[in-house]
Amino acid sequence: MPAASLPDNVLQLIEAALAEDIGTGDVTSLYFVPEAKRNTARIIAREPGIVAGIEVAVAVFHAVDRTLQVTIEKPDGARFVRGDSLLCIEGRARSLLTAERTALNFLQRLCAIATQTGKYVEAVQPHPVKILDTRKTTPGWRWLEKHAVKCGGGTNHRIGLYDMVMVKDNHLLAEDRLEDLQAAIDCVKADRQGIRVELEADTLEQVAAFLSLRGVDVILLDNMPCALLRKAVNMVQGRVMLEASGGISMDTIRDVAATGVDAISIGALTHTVRALDLSLEF
């Protein structure tokens, strides 16, 4: 993910973040750091983790000062330990200090998401189950946060409302007859070639009913205990993909993976992470 290939919305986000922080100017650096002063700085890990967003940090430094020399020492997806250097930056000291906090804000959160995802991926081994993210992302950060999930070994679910059908309980309340569901599935499949359709089931009776429909790619098993998940797996016999979701934590995920479901979606990958401890040191 070279900085030049970052999506426009991410570049705009960087611009907005810098404008928010710098405002009319970095008065501390302007008055207390000599203009000609040059330094070398590194972003150092204070705890172990997985890198995500390193090119975003590079883009922040270059947005502040194109003359800064930035060297990536740990690329996205790489694991690091306490004391490792992730990024080396050389150039004007004022520029280093002006860009510092914004670069760290991006990098600390994205590395945290990748690291948390990596822990869930490790927890389900050796079961061949995918760890999926959700749409529970920071507004405006979705592309970045879903990229971080991939850096941690996870798999992106749908990106938004436009790229996959997910018929949840509230949708079903609005259209609860199987023949109506079938007509809607047929229509969207005809209009949107290649689109995948997922239906949410709260009971085994719903699972059985959904198996009778054409064009269903995934059944979401919502908040089912492991005993019901195993029954659903036996019932489906691989005819559609099965995704488990709802209240799954690090304490329960291994048991869920052992039921034989194909995927587990976890909102906590993105909505409840603690920023990883990174610092910029001269």
What's the CATH code of the domain at 70? 3.90.1170.20
Does residue 259 sit in the same domain as residue 162? yes
Residues 11, 114, single domain; the answer is yes
My answer on whether 107 and 135 are in the same domain is: no
Non-local CB neighbours of 282 within 8 Å, separated by 6+ positions: 39, 40, 41, 93, 96
The reported pLDDT for the residue numbered 224 is: 96
Would you state the structure tokens that stand for residue 63, as one six-digit string?
Answer: 């947005």
Residues 6+ apart with CB under 8 A from 250: 119, 120, 123
* CATH number assigned to the domain comprising residue 228: 3.20.20.70
- Contact (CB, 8 A) for 245 and 215: no
Q: Are residues 245 and 151 in the same domain?
A: yes
> 246 and 113 in one domain?
no
Asked if 105 and 243 count as a contact pair (C-beta separation under 8 A), the reply is no
| 8 A C-beta contact, residue 62 and residue 70 | yes
* Secondary structure of residue 180 in the 3-state scheme: helix
- The answer on 65 and 84 residing in a single domain is yes
| Structural domains counted in the chain | 2
**Within this chain, do residues 129 and 259 fall inside the same structural domain, yes or no?**
yes
* In a shared domain, residues 83 and 156: no
Contact 92, 65 (CB under 8 A): yes
Kindly list the catalytic residues.
101, 136, 168, 200, 222
Helix (H, G, I), strand (E, B) or coil at 189: helix
For residue 124, give the nearest of 244, 280, 27 by alpha carbon: 244
- 171 and 266 inside one domain: yes
Q: Domain limits at 77?
A: 3-121+274-281
Residues of the chain with pLDDT under 50: 1
Which pTM was predicted?
Answer: 0.94
